[in-house]
Chain A
Amino acid sequence: MNTATVFGLAAAVAAGLGTYGLIANPQPLRKIIAFNLLGSGVFLFFGVVARRSAGAGFGGDPVPQALVITGMVVAFSATALAVALLLRLFQASGSATLRPNAPASTDSGRSEA
Chain B
Amino acid sequence: MGLGFEVGLIVLVLGVGAWTIAARETFAAVIGFATYGLLLALVWVRLSAPDVALTEAAIGGGLTGTLLLGAAARLRATEPADAAERSGAALHMVAGVLAATVTGGLAAAVLFLPDPAPTLAPAVAANAPATTLGNPVTSVLMAFRAMDTLLEKVVLLLATVGVWSLAPDRLWGGRPGPRHQANPDGVFAFLARLLPPVGIVVGIYILWVSADDPGGAFQSGTILAAMWMLAMMAGLADAPPVSRRSLRFALIAGPLIFLLVGLGGLWLGDAFLSYPVAYAKALILAIEFPMILTIAVTLGLLLAGPPEREPGR
Contact = CB atoms under 8 A, between A and B. Distances in A.
A96 B137 contact: no
A33 B68 contact: yes
Contacts of B60: 36, 40, 72
Contact of A32 (B52, B68, B113, B140): B68
A96 B80 CA distance: 11
A17 to B, nearest CB: 5
B18, B82, B156 — most chain A CB neighbours (10 Å)? B82
Interface in A63-79: 63, 65-70, 72-79
A62 B121 CA distance: 6
Contacts, number: 297
B303 A80 contact: yes
A15 B71 contact: no
Given A66-B140, A84-B305, A12 B13 contact: no
Interface residues of B, number: 97
Nearest to B105: A12
Contact of B162 (A3, A8, A57, A81): A81
B36 A37 contact: yes
A53 B163 contact: no
A86 B102 CA distance: 27
B92 interface: yes
B155 to A, nearest CB: 5
Contact of B106 (A41, A52, A57, A96): A41
A85 B195 CA distance: 32
Nearest to B23: A30
Interface string B130-144: 000000110111001
Nearest to B216: A69
Contacts of A87: 71, 74-75, 305
Contact of A5 (B33, B111, B120): B111
A56 B122 contact: yes
A83 B71 contact: yes
Interface in A33-50: 33-34, 36-37, 40-41, 43-45, 47-50
A65 B81 contact: no
Interface stretch (B1-9, B230-238, B267-275): B1-9
Contacts of B159: 77-78, 80-81
Contact of A30 (B17, B29, B77, B139): B29
Given A23-B98, A25-B87, A74 B302 contact: no
Nearest to B86: A26
A35 to B, nearest CB: 11
Nearest to B306: A84
A20 B17 CA distance: 12
B26 A29 contact: yes
Interface stretch (B41-49, B181-189, B279-287): B41-49
Given A70-B141, A72-B55, A19 B95 contact: yes
Interface of B: 1, 3, 6-7, 10, 13-14, 17-18, 20-21, 26, 29-30, 33, 36-37, 40, 43-44, 46-49, 51-52, 55-56, 59-60, 63-64, 67-68, 70-72, 74-75, 77-78, 81-82, 85-87, 91-92, 94-96, 98-100, 102-107, 109-111, 113, 117-122, 124-126, 136-137, 139-141, 144-145, 148-149, 152, 155-156, 158-159, 162-163, 166, 168, 216, 218, 302-303, 305-306
